[in-house]
Amino acid sequence: MTDPVNTSQQAAVGGLLRAVGDALGGPVPAKWGDAIGAVPRHRFLPERIWLEDGKGGYEPCDLQADSGRWFEAAYADVPIVTQVNDGETPEDPADAWPSSSASAPSIVVRTLRELDVRPGMNVLEIGTGTGWNAALLAHRLGAGRVASVEIDSDVARQAWASLNAAGLDVDVRCGDGAEGWNRRGPYDRIISTCSVRHVPWAWIEQTRSGGIVLTPWDNPMLCWGLLRLTVERDRAQGRFSPHSAFMLMRDQRHDLRIFRDVVRDEHVPAESGTALSPWKVTGDQWDARFALGLRLGDVWTAWEDDEERLWVATTDARSWAAVDRNGGQFTVGQYGPRRLWDEVEAAYRWWEGHGRPAPERFGLTVTGRRQWTWLDHPSRVAGAVRR
């Protein structure tokens, strides 16, 4: 007799693989399709997950209370938030912010494809989360080949239990992934599933020469891009590709707010005008935003509620600029040791002057002493990466 649970699970996996194929623009590679079929995603999710509430926030969805919605989410090509507020329950669900998640399956497959793992390789994952990504790797590479570091002890414990229940041998360690995990290295591949603003040197030191370090990228201006570095003897370098956003590694997080941390009543800004529309540097011209983020390095932006004023500030909170719409013109106020809007304009002109390069033309070099981004070649510096 057919097992109805298995039949519906198979149908759900089939639907998920089609959705992932649509997102990737082609069928899921058989080796990862097989792994997704063999490692059911729902077995790696906690009973309480958090789903988008349609108002820009999250609402809890419990397996016991709403198994249909819970199961549907498990097999949709969407990221699922599995922990909010570093494990603290917010009094008001509207205050929930994601601190751990199961990444969208199409993103998982895309990054695994970029990782280019082969049998016999030793792989370290940073950011275990639910353990599903590590499970797919372990299914492919076999016992004793995959290690994973997770900073949150509850998340690490839950992932270990799920991997164990699935009969997969992954070495899960609770610790700070910025330190890698030296005892299990050297690695052929390191994959991070949390984004970084600078690449921890430990990852390069713990990867074999010729090995790959793959990590989502974050910049104060834009969290976007996947960085694939090849490790050489004294450095690692490689290029970015466009990609969606991942949550930031915990110790690289920032929580700056314009009025609380930057702008003071006594600040008197220098006033001027600009022909550059603030929407050109904050709108859906992603290539420009990505390039400006690399060029400027430590600059972030925030709209005032009604999108009538754009704030720009440095991450050291010492300089700021405000751009206001004034009829068909824009007026600018700049305060602090740096003239930030002038820097934004210069960076935009630089991007235009170089033929409006897309993210794929940019790369990053890491040495033990410094890190910098570049356009087309490591000698053509785009910006310095600040720690």
**Sheet strands side by side (includes 329-335):** 270-274, 329-335, 320-326, 309-314, 299-303
Residue in the structure block whose two tokens are 């649970």 = 5
User: Any contact of residue 133 with ligand SAM (CB under 6 A)?
Assistant: yes
Which of 74, 84, 141, 178 contacts ligand SAM by CB under 6 A?
A: 178
Neighbours of 113 (CB within 10 A): 14
Question: Which residue lies nearer to ligand SAM by CB, 196 or 375?
Answer: 196
**Which of 194, 236, 288, 292 forms a contact with ligand SAM (CB under 6 A)?**
194
> What residues contact residue 183 under an 8 Å CB cut-off, 6+ apart?
none
Q: Of 55-63, 121-129, 180-188, 339-347, which part binds ligand SAM (CB under 6 A)?
A: 121-129
* Nearer residue to ligand SAM within complex by CB, 103 or 106: 103
Shortest distance (Å) from residue 74 CB to ligand SAM: 12
Q: In this chain, which of 130, 282, 301, 334 binds ligand SAM, going by CB under 6 A?
A: 130
Q: Which stretch binds ligand SAM (CB under 6 A): 13-21, 97-105, 289-297, 325-333?
A: 97-105
Report, in Å, the least distance between residue 238 CB and ligand SAM: 21
Query: Catalytic residues, which ones?
Result: 103
Residue-by-residue DSSP string for 8-41: HHHHHHHHHHHHHHHHHTSPPPHHHHHHHHHS-G
Residue 308 CB: number of other CB atoms within 10 A?
12
Taking the C-alpha atoms of residue 213 and residue 111, their distance in angstroms, rounded to an integer, is 11
Cβ neighbours of residue 369 closer than 8 Å, sequence gap 6 or more: none
- Count Cα atoms within 13 angstroms, Cβ side, for 340: 31
Q: Which of 34, 176, 342, 345 binds ligand SAM (CB under 6 A)?
A: 176
Site for ligand SAM in 226-265 (CB under 6 A): 246-247, 249-251
Binding residue count for ligand SAM, defined by CB under 6 A: 26
Of the candidates 100, 106, 122, 237, which one interacts with ligand SAM according to CB under 6 A?
100
Q: Which SS3 state, helix, strand or coil, does residue 251 take?
A: helix
Strands (E), the chain: 48-52, 58-62, 80-84, 98-102, 123-126, 146-150, 170-174, 187-192, 207-216, 226-231, 235-241, 270-274, 299-303, 309-314, 320-326, 329-335, 362-367, 371-375, 381-384
Q: Is residue 177 a contact point for ligand SAM (CB under 6 A)?
A: yes
- 316 binds ligand SAM, rule: CB under 6 A: no
Q: How near is the Cβ of 101 to ligand SAM at its closest, in Å? A: 5
Interaction residues for ligand SAM, span 142-171 (CB under 6 A): 149-152, 155
For ligand SAM, which is the closer residue by CB, 155 or 323? 155
Among 70, 96, 103, 189, interactor with ligand SAM by CB under 6 A: 103
Residues that bind ligand SAM (CB under 6 A): 100-103, 126-130, 132-133, 149-152, 155, 176-178, 193-194, 246-247, 249-251
